[in-house]
Structure 1
Amino acid sequence: MASYQKEQEQLNDILNGQEYQIYYQDNRSLLERLWDRFVEWIQKILNYIFESFNPASTTGNIITMLTAGIIIAIVLATIIAIVMITIRKKRLSKRQLFNQSEELSWSYRDHLQAAHDYETKANYRLATRHQFLSLLLVVDEHEWLEARQWKTNWDYYDELKQTNKAFAEDFYQLALFFEKITYGKHPITVDEYQSYQSEINRWIESIVEQTATKETGER
């Protein structure tokens, strides 16, 4: 009996020893362990949805890998979309468009006149700025957005996507040019200014006409 107890103690010592226990340790990397847990999570979901699902089979393994690939693709696409939106948002400056509060109280015609005055002085940077602000105020009058001193071009673009998606895309391009000239100190040629002025005036005339038609119809 004493011999049996001694042998049992020796066996326990061996089983508890480092040389034996090392075989039970998880020596996989963190990434490998996370992947296995991810696969197990997918298998549990598939097993819950499909009663006949067998993760140990070849078909089950293929379905698991395909599902994992789809989930990873969706996650990556979401991350890329968020990054792209963030980059796009940063492209529109966080600067306030109206330098002074009284500029917001001007009519769009006042800004057009200011643009004309700067144009005659060959100051196309400031002329471009007032051209853009005149458009912004016309759009405000047409109630596609609400002009406020604290708002940025991104705020306006976000509003326009809800009220007029077609114009929102043109506004985005016009806003980018405005910011490049106004804040980026990008030199502007006469041809560039005239092209921008033509596009601004085209939209102003169109929106003013729509506003007049709307008011006539309401009478």
Structure 2
Amino acid sequence: MLKDSKARDELEEILKEREYQAYYDDSKGLISIWWEKVKDWFADLLADLFPSFAPSSAAAGPILIGIIVIMIISLGVIAFFIFRNRKRNRMLHDHKPLQSMNEMNWSFQRHLSESQKHEANGEYTLATRHLFLALLLYFHEKEWLVARIWKTNWEYYDELRKVNQEWADQFYHLARLFDEVTYGKHNIQIEEFLQFRITAMKWLENSEEIREFGVERR
């Protein structure tokens, strides 16, 4: 107990020493100087943009602080979306939607039928996968792209945009969600899946082969 009390007293003496206090004051001073420079820079910027703004007024301080906070939050949000988009695009470059020759050999009608079975069971991850593969193989059948098990969705997007840029853009958004669900462990909800299905079926429901195969049209 005495040892603990003695150690505490020694620590307090160290903290009171001039060298420590000087270091603390210097660090605090650097932060204050930096903060003042930031506020001065924003004040000058606002004065240039809005001549009626008076940096020396009593309301200027809170206004500057509010603007700085908003800008920091905005930069954080922008950085988040940039990071997320880069991650999504990397998935398009890295992952291959067709994982086996068995998936490749299925017809798009069979993948579509399989998707509907999983959807009826509430298995939206598998329903998304088979619906996307149905769309991919439908494009292959139409010769808008060439499906291969070694190709990535980015390569399919690049092929499709040579046929129709609008279709390619729609495919790009579907492919990003497909990759997030399949490889990014995104737990797709029914609302997302229904929107995914609506977009994909804009192509597939126009196919006569669907009726011939007996797949339900919704």
TM-score (norm 1): 0.53
What is aligned with 1:189? 189
Please give the alpha-carbon distance, in whole angstroms, between the structure 2 residues aligned to 1:88 and 1:184: 9
Pick the structure with greater CA Rg.
1
Shift of 1:120: 2.1
CA deviation vs aligned residue, 1:175-208 (integer Å, no higher than 9, x gap) = 01111111111111111111111111112234x3
What letter is aligned with 1:106?
W
SS in 2 for 1:163: coil
Does the CA-based 8 Å contact 2:145-2:160 persist in structure 1? Answer: yes
What is aligned with 2:43? none
What is aligned with 2:110? 110
What is aligned with 2:211? none
The 1:105–1:187 alpha-carbon spacing in structure 2 relative to 1, beyond 3 Å, is same
The 1:88–1:96 alpha-carbon spacing in structure 2 relative to 1, beyond 3 Å, is closer
Does the CA-based 8 Å contact 1:93-1:179 persist in structure 2? Answer: no
Shift of 1:90: 1.7
What is aligned with 2:96? 96
What is aligned with 1:128? 128
Please give the alpha-carbon distance, in whole angstroms, between the structure 1 residues aligned to 2:178 and 2:89: 15
What is aligned with 2:162? 162
Does the CA-based 8 Å contact 2:115-2:126 persist in structure 1? Answer: yes
Please give the alpha-carbon distance, in whole angstroms, between the structure 1 residues aligned to 2:95 and 2:88: 15
Please give the alpha-carbon distance, in whole angstroms, between the structure 2 residues aligned to 1:195 and 1:113: 18
The 1:137–1:182 alpha-carbon spacing in structure 2 relative to 1, beyond 3 Å, is same
Shift of 1:144: 0.6
Does the CA-based 8 Å contact 1:112-1:131 persist in structure 2? Answer: yes
Q: Which runs of 5+ in 2 are unaligned?
A: 1-84, 209-218
Please give the alpha-carbon distance, in whole angstroms, between the structure 2 residues aligned to 1:128 and 1:94: 19
Does the CA-based 8 Å contact 1:160-1:168 persist in structure 2? Answer: yes
Please give the alpha-carbon distance, in whole angstroms, between the structure 1 residues aligned to 2:131 and 2:158: 21
Q: Which runs of 4+ in 1 moved over 6 A?
A: 85-88
Q: Which runs of 5+ in 1 are unaligned?
A: 1-84, 210-219
Shift of 1:168: 0.5
RMSD across aligned positions (CA)? 2.0
